[in-house]
Amino acid sequence: MLELIAEQRIAEAIAKGELDDLPGAGRPLQLDDDALIPAELRLAYRILKNAGTVPPEVEALNEIAHLERWVLKEIEPSARTQALKRLALLRAIACRSSRTRRSTSSGRCTPRS
């Protein structure tokens, strides 16, 4: 029922020319490949992307990658130890998050060497 009403209103707007001057008219849509994102998260991820932010798990993965690069360069032992602890915590959180989201997963996270 709602779909029918929406289609009718769109058809009316087209007939009145209300959709003629929209930004991007006549150009193909820029669709992102989100086939690997679970259907229930696609809308939320699209909203975050349009707002210029990333999902918390992507933010954590970015921080993990940053810490991994930094630990390789860090010489001072106490700073390196702190970074390694933070890295282990972030990896555990990322692993737990991916396990709860993916029911088809084996439920195991493999540690990085």
- Residue 18, token pair as written in the block: 């209300």
Scanning the structure block, which residue is given the tokens 């259907």? 39
Scanning the structure block, which residue is given the tokens 């709860």? 100
Please tell me the predicted confidence (pLDDT) of residue 11: 93
Can you tell me the mean pLDDT for 48-71?
85
The answer on pLDDT for 7 being more than 70 is yes
Question: Could you tell me the pTM of the whole model?
Answer: 0.46
Q: What are the boundaries of each domain within the chain? A: 56-99
> In this predicted model, which residue has the larger pLDDT, 109 or 24?
24
pLDDT tens readout for residues 87-105 = 898 888 888 776 655 444 4
Number of Cβ within 10 Å of residue 66's Cβ equals: 12
pLDDT tens readout for residues 16-44 = 988 888 887 778 877 677 778 888 888 88
Q: How far apart are CA 48 and CA 31, in angstroms?
A: 15
Number of Cβ within 10 Å of residue 84's Cβ equals: 14
